[in-house]
Amino acid sequence: MATAAKKKLVQWGPAEVKSALLEKYPPKVARKRAKQIMINEAQQNETPELTANVRTIPGIITMRGCTYAGCKGVIMGPTRDIVNLVHGPIGCSFYAWLTRRNQTDAGPDGENYMNYCFSTDMQEQDIIFGGEKKLAAAIQEAYDLFHPKSIAVFATCPVGLIGDDIHTVSKNMKEKFGDCNVYAFSCEGYKGVSQSAGHHIANNQVFRHLVGQNDEVKPGKYKINLLGEYNIGGDGFEIDRIFQKCGITCISTFSGNSTYDQFASSHTADLNAVMCHRSINYVADMMETKYGIPWIKVNFIGAKATAKSLRKIAEYFGEKALIDRVEKVIAEEMPEVEAALAEITPRTEGKTAMMFVGGSRAHHYKELFDELKMKTISAGYEFGHQDDYEGRQVLPNIQLDADSRNIEELEVEPDKTRFKPRKSDKEMKALEKAGYKFKHYDGLAADMDKGTLIIDDLNQYEAEKLVELMKLDIFCAGIKEKYSIQKLGVPMKQLHSYDSGGPYAGFQGAINFYKEIDRLVNSKVWGFMKAPWQKNPELSASYVWE
């Protein structure tokens, strides 16, 4: 144990690692990248230190996706009874078809279009002469075949370039049908610097066309919406199980295992619990302004975090019956979690991890590694904003660039008839006085140890360099990174798709995760791999003109 631990020790200090990452870049690129690599001080800054949500430097192999992916794939992808029709070349649909592992339960009505791939299949002649007629025909065809409640249309890059008016086409079809809500998303892939812009575009249209469409009051007590939970690998099923056990009514999940009606009646809930801050904070803010629903940040990744989030929800409602029931559920669920940890942590303690995922999981999954007594030595997001790294207190000091201004900000006002404060001013103040925080998120940096490296928009080159320099025990990212990391002799866990595993949320999910990580970090197979830099310590080359 002692010699193994010695061998694994981080041999380089963070400042040395940072300069080694930048060493090979041309000076201009190095200057830009330096601003996106932060040696963590774990301070709560008022002004952001790390640069984020900026364009990837051309030529760099980023881990990011496009704006269309963030809108069509991420926010709208898990909605089972809305036909998601892509206006564009077939590749955009094909490569987005069932690649994100959001699961769904087709429910008693059986209405589920998630396994279909709807596309207008744009051809050259549509690019030259315009594709609006083809889009109208495709909407008609989907309607005739399925009679869905709703059809969502998504723009791909060429649509914006040729100027097809997808909004007018959708509006006309909606009027023509009368019983099917049709609306469109201007989420062309190039619209923003990453998929994050697609989240914002999707949030705006979901708010405009879906939220508030059904005023019917749903049965149940303690009504919440869970925002930013996408049921990857069945996470949402585990969270729903826990909610049901606690007697908490989840009116709507945005958007794991969701239905049209859930969005339509989400404004009848009394609390918005936000899981993924990055992708859905816009909806939370807009619902608060328009309907008076407060929002809190929660996290159901990690057993302790799950317990904490449940207690936070119970405290908000403040009724003894709920508080007691939540405690009872936690007391019932935790022994199995603790037994698994007691068995596994002796084998995982002291091991090191790195996580580079989307815009919130690098933070959430740190909870699970903490529970395994593993150390997260470096982490970052593909497309997080500065508030996701350093906390929402930096929001007033974030300088908006042209790319961010390009994304529409909706003007929202309190609804004349439906705005209703869920708690009186006095009640809200009392909760805040007792330490309760609304509209609050501390971000990743606050939870990372001092001296760890926080890196935004990590790229292929830097990922390999980090592994070489820091000799870690497990690397977490996505499919694009998986095999290049494994070839370096380091186990790799996909935290987007979970490598066909999961769920990892809630209590049962935490146990699944502990077992999986135990298998990965303690497998001997990785020791047999030889990374290129182990075989040939340095490759040298020269340019032909040199």
Footprint of ligand CFM (CB under 6 A): 70, 74, 100, 195, 228, 230, 232, 276, 278-279, 357-361, 496
**Least Å distance between CB 326 and ligand CFM?**
24
A 10 A CB-CB count for 431 gives 18
Q: How many CA atoms lie within 13 A of 182 on its CB side?
A: 27
Give the separation between CA 415 and CA 437, rounded to whole angstroms. Answer: 25
**How do 453-455 and 37-39 pair as beta strands?**
antiparallel
249-255 sheet: strands from edge to edge: 249-255, 223-229, 271-274, 295-297
Rg (CA), the chain: 24
Instruction: Please say whether the beta carbons of 207 and 283 come within 8 A.
Output: yes
User: Residue 341 or residue 357: which is nearer to ligand CFM going by CB?
Assistant: 357
Helix, coil or strand: residue 149: coil
User: Residue 156 or residue 203: which is nearer to ligand CFM going by CB?
Assistant: 203
Q: How many CA atoms lie within 13 A of 25 on its CB side?
A: 21
Please state the length of the chain.
Answer: 546
Tokens for 323? Answer: 């508080």
User: Residue 210 or residue 505: which is nearer to ligand CFM going by CB?
Assistant: 505
Which amino acid type is present at position 25? Y
**Least Å distance between CB 200 and ligand CFM?**
12
**Least Å distance between CB 273 and ligand CFM?**
14
Catalytic residues: 66, 69, 100, 199
Helix, coil or strand: residue 130: coil
User: Residue 207 or residue 230: which is nearer to ligand CFM going by CB?
Assistant: 230
Question: Residue 102: beta bridge partners?
Answer: 232
Closest CA to 385 of 405, 404, 402: 404
User: Residue 267 or residue 278: which is nearer to ligand CFM going by CB?
Assistant: 278
Instruction: Provide the strand spans (E) within 223-294.
Output: 223-229, 249-255, 271-274
Please state whether the peptide bond connecting residue 503 to the residue before it is cis, i.e. omega within 30 degrees of 0.
yes
**Least Å distance between CB 384 and ligand CFM?**
8
Give the separation between CA 476 and CA 495, rounded to whole angstroms. Answer: 6
**Least Å distance between CB 198 and ligand CFM?**
8
Which amino acid type is present at position 371? E
Query: Which residue sits closest to ligand CFM, CB atoms considered?
Result: 358
**Least Å distance between CB 93 and ligand CFM?**
17
User: Residue 504 or residue 514: which is nearer to ligand CFM going by CB?
Assistant: 504
Q: How far is CA 405 from the centre of its chain?
A: 22
Closest CA to 286 of 421, 202, 411, 197: 411
**Least Å distance between CB 545 and ligand CFM?**
40
User: Residue 334 or residue 446: which is nearer to ligand CFM going by CB?
Assistant: 446
Secondary structure string (H, E, C) spanning 178-189 = CCCEEEEECCCH
